[in-house]
Amino acid sequence: MSENKEWPIWEVFIRSKNGLEHRHVGSLHAADAEMALENARDVYTRRLEGVSIWVVESKHIRATNPESSGELFEPAKDKAYRHPTFYNLPDELKHI
């Protein structure tokens, strides 16, 4: 047994219906992956929210450092031309 008595934290991703992607919905504690799936089922799908669950232990997620936000994200701010908003679309096209 490890010295750590707290269960590790897991991130939970749920696919709300077939064809859609899994989305992050929250996190929970669990001793291992199997328990994390069961806990996720009980905590996050009680109201019929999903048809599939992914869990991943939080420590495996590599995140960007907020201090680097400037160099990472700000350069994209003045590059509106990267949005494909300059096309004239026919009216029949929906959902674009």
Which positions touch other proteins (CB under 8 A)?
1, 7, 28-31, 34-35, 38-39, 41-43, 46
**Minimal distance, residue 39 CB to other proteins, in Å:** 4
- Compare residues 22 and 35 and give the one whose CB is closer to other proteins: 35
**Minimal distance, residue 24 CB to other proteins, in Å:** 17
Distances (CA, A) of 48 to 9, 30, 41, 44, 75: 23, 22, 10, 9, 41
- Compare residues 20 and 31 and give the one whose CB is closer to other proteins: 31
List of residues 6+ apart from 39 with CB closer than 8 A: 10, 28, 29, 30
